Structure 1
């Protein structure tokens, strides 16, 4: 008699492994759209897709880094395997979880270094990503993994009646993190 592991397939937890390429940001948005449509939560798409894009972009830029070609210019490819490496590094993965009245967007990557929000410079071309994550999600944070980390953001999914957790009706469909 053999033993095995029974895996329960949960329709409210979806995960996508992303290739180490800039096109993965678009893949993450498409994946997000598909999951939210399946859960009848399309109204959350703009906020969740923006945050997913920022978290995947950060993973690509800071956790993996571009591999330059002979001229020193980035080729849009990354020096990172798409499968787990022998040293235990993880590929970039995006996961969406729908539980009760919340959706969690989580992006894992191989870097152990946590995200750091910089002083907002509204003239710079980059550096505002975590400010956007904070503005468009209910809350966010990160946790170290055995190898790498996961950065997550929580979104409130109002019930079909339009009432939020506290019974108040939403304005414009956006949930802001309270200060």
Structure 2
């Protein structure tokens, strides 16, 4: 389901995260195409990864954040429409989960270099709340543009574990 390889945050450098990446004990990565069902696929991947890491109690908060970050990446970070989907195209968005000592990191890469924007929360509006939810349910979050041969940005969230 996921892939193995160097964590995408290795490509960014570790100084921007409030965790010691030398304690990295596991990574799981999933490429996602620009389709609505990708959000459900990301949640399912998160559930199975957390179960494998024996962290099922983290699922509710992490799944909510994964859903918001993947939705934002697909809605705002990917310019292609679903009708433009090609089965051989590279993933539009990547989700990576990383387990460190007493921390879990969720990172989502998309091809846009534009900074994520925290929307205005107006009354009963159903949009614009995503990053507010990420802020409420994670212990920390942020973003960073990619450099070098990779284009776009990574938006990440950190969760404390037992």
Asked if Structure 1 and Structure 2 have the same fold, meaning a TM-score greater than 0.5 normalized by the shorter chain, the answer is yes
For residues 44 and 78 of structure 1, the distance between their equivalents in structure 2, rounded to whole angstroms, comes to 35
Query: Structure 1 residue 59 and structure 2 residue 63: aligned?
Result: no
For residues 32 and 76 of structure 2, the distance between their equivalents in structure 1, rounded to whole angstroms, comes to 15
1:79 positional shift:
4.0
Aligned match of 1:153: 157
Aligned match of 2:64: 50
Alpha carbons 1:102, 1:155 under 8 Å: kept: yes
Alpha carbons 1:18, 1:24 under 8 Å: kept: yes
For residues 80 and 151 of structure 1, the distance between their equivalents in structure 2, rounded to whole angstroms, comes to 23
Alpha carbons 2:146, 2:153 under 8 Å: kept: yes
Alpha carbons 1:65, 1:79 under 8 Å: kept: no
Runs of 5+ unmatched residues, structure 2: 7-23
1:78 positional shift:
5.4
Aligned match of 1:102: 103
Larger radius of gyration: 1
1:149 positional shift:
0.2
1:80 positional shift:
6.1
For residues 117 and 45 of structure 1, the distance between their equivalents in structure 2, rounded to whole angstroms, comes to 24
2:68 counterpart SS class:
helix
Q: Which has the higher helix share?
A: 2
Aligned match of 2:51: 37
- The alignment's C-alpha RMSD in Å is 2.2
Larger relative contact order (Cα-Cα within 8 Å, sequence gap ≥ 6): 2
1:126 counterpart SS class:
coil
1:152 counterpart SS class:
strand
Task: Give structure 1 regions of 4+ aligned residues with deviation exceeding 6 angstroms.
Answer: none
Compute the TM-score of the two structures, normalised by the length of structure 2.
0.78
